[in-house]
Amino acid sequence: MTSQHASFYFAKHALLNSGWANNVLFKVANGVFTSIQADCEPPKELSSSITWLDGPMLPTLANVHSHAFQRVMAGAAEVSLNPNDSFWSWRDLMYKVVQKLTPDDAQVIATQLYIDMLKAGYTQVGEFHYLHHAQQGKSYAQKAEMSLRLLDAANQSGIGLTLLPVLYAYSGFGGQTPTEGQARFIHSVDSYLALQQACASAFSMSNVNQENKHNVGICFHSLRAVTKPQIEEVLSALDPNQVVHIHIAEQQKEVQDCLNWSGQRPVEWLHNEIGLSDRWCLVHATHLDPNELSAIASSHAIAGLCPTTEANLGDGIFPAVEFEQAKGRWGIGSDSHVSLSIVEELRTLEYGQRLRDQQRNRLHRAEQPNVGDNLYQQALIGGNQACDVSLGLKVGSRADFMLLDDAHPFIAASQPCDFLNRWLFACNENVVKDVYVAGEPIVTNFSHPLEESSRKAFTQVIKKVMYDE
């Protein structure tokens, strides 16, 4: 809801774009920060209209990579079925789940997921959406049915949605026929462009009373799923300002298959044949040679890192230290949602590098030696670019923010330079206490107004889909 009048918020400690500041007065009008003053005494005449914020105030993050429906199977694929269980055997299980989902199921799962994201401190989500059709690939009467269900879920929960409708046409490099398990994903370029149009008009209507929180990007599932002429045709038909997401170089097998097909590695191929720019979000980009790494970094494309899913699926370790040295841009996503926690994504990212290098404090920059502050700031910048939003405590940004729980000793006792490190490395319970979107409280005292009913509905869907109950 739009707040027509201005509101004021006062925080003792806030992480501004310029760093930590004390005694900060924020003015918000129409859901946007219109002025921010640090080191300030709140004017007496305003004191009755100020919301006094307890606990350190942080910007929220964009979650750059989500497949909402996969939340239903989180933690249910951890039983060894064969000695060589891999990404590909996990994918077989995931395809079985896909066959069962109705539009109602998908909406219930996404609503609960987005509530959980808000409670974790994400207020925008990049939804990499490829479950387009009914069973056996039959179209729904409303062709954008599944996309609209995701929009409904976003509106119910209050999160901002960057919908990335996916073009998925083939099962392997060079235009191989899709498998039966992929039937619900498949579009031609023409039907894909029609879906883009349907989404654009639904989103612009919805944005009228949603503070322009939503937007639509472009998405290719992977180089396995589309051909070069398809990529070119889609990019030339659509708005050159839309972001473009793609899964790339996640598994060694994909790299090898790409080499066998084209003589080039996946990122190398994309860079040479299509070209990279700051519109692109390369999801995973786990397996890079030094030339590919510098091509991504110098193009200012985002590496969409999903550390908990990449660990869960056994993808490999992204060369994050080298990518930071090259001033690469990256964001974080929870992808399969086997875990849903900013803490766990950032901690796993940093600890993966420590374990690899047998060293401490890996992901920092010359200008930011504080690891937690650097991780958080990079995830904020990269998340914004990948989801085409501008979160952050700065004038002109949507007034999204979160407050950490100052009843927790690690938060209550810390100096600002330690808030993020205490939270990201040492807190095990959730300390994201309150979350605001466009100046409105959405999560209050750890709780979302719809969570009780949503959790009940989600429980029923898990029972039905996973256990046939």
The residues annotated with a catalytic role in the active site are 284, 335
User: In sequence order, which residues have a C-beta less than 8 Å from that of residue 195 and are 6 or more positions away?
Assistant: 132, 143, 144, 147, 165, 187
By the rule CB under 6 A, 91 interacts with ligand NGQ: yes
Residue (309 or 353) nearer to Zn ion, CB:
309
Q: Please report, for the chain, how many H helices and E strands are present, in that order.
A: 15, 17
* Paired tokens of 59: 């910007």
Q: CA-to-CA distance for 223 and 54, rounded, in angstroms?
A: 47
Q: Which helix (H) or strand (E) holds 26?
A: strand 19-29
Contact with ligand NGQ (CB under 6 A): which of 105, 250, 268, 434?
250
91 interface partner picked from ligand NGQ, Zn ion, none, CB below 5 to 8 A per type:
ligand NGQ
CB of 312 to ligand NGQ, least distance (A): 9
Residue (335 or 388) nearer to Zn ion, CB:
335
By the rule CB under 6 A, 127 interacts with ligand NGQ: no
Residue (335 or 345) nearer to ligand NGQ, CB:
335
Find the binding residues for ligand NGQ in span 294-333 (CB under 6 A).
309, 313
Contact with ligand NGQ (CB under 6 A): which of 129, 184, 247, 265?
247
Q: How many residues bind Zn ion (CB under 5 A)?
A: 1
Q: CA-to-CA distance for 294 and 288, rounded, in angstroms?
A: 9
Q: Confirm if 264 and 258 have CB atoms less than 8 A apart.
A: yes
154 interface partner picked from Zn ion, ligand NGQ, none, CB below 5 to 8 A per type:
none
Q: Which of 112, 197, 118, 183 is nearest to 150 (CA)?
A: 112
Contact with ligand NGQ (CB under 6 A): which of 60, 111, 123, 336?
336
By the rule CB under 6 A, 105 interacts with ligand NGQ: no
Count CA atoms within 13 Å of residue 78 on its CB side: 8
309 interface partner picked from Zn ion, ligand NGQ, none, CB below 5 to 8 A per type:
ligand NGQ
Find the binding residues for ligand NGQ in span 55-74 (CB under 6 A).
67
Radius of gyration of the chain (CA): 22
Q: Confirm if 354 and 344 have CB atoms less than 8 A apart.
A: no
Residue (181 or 441) nearer to ligand NGQ, CB:
181
CA distances from 110 to 35, 211, 343, 363 (A): 34, 20, 21, 32
CB of 350 to ligand NGQ, least distance (A): 21
**Going residue by residue from 312 to 341, which x/- string records binding to Zn ion, judged by CB under 5 A?**
-----------------------x------
CB of 460 to ligand NGQ, least distance (A): 24
Q: Confirm if 164 and 130 have CB atoms less than 8 A apart.
A: no
CB of 84 to ligand NGQ, least distance (A): 17
Q: CA-to-CA distance for 304 and 202, rounded, in angstroms?
A: 27
The length of the chain in residues reads 469
Q: Which of 15, 10, 121 is nearest to 414 (CA)?
A: 15
User: What is the contact surface with Zn ion in residues (CB under 5 A)?
Assistant: 335
User: What is the contact surface with ligand NGQ in residues (CB under 6 A)?
Assistant: 67, 91, 222, 247, 250, 309, 313, 335-336
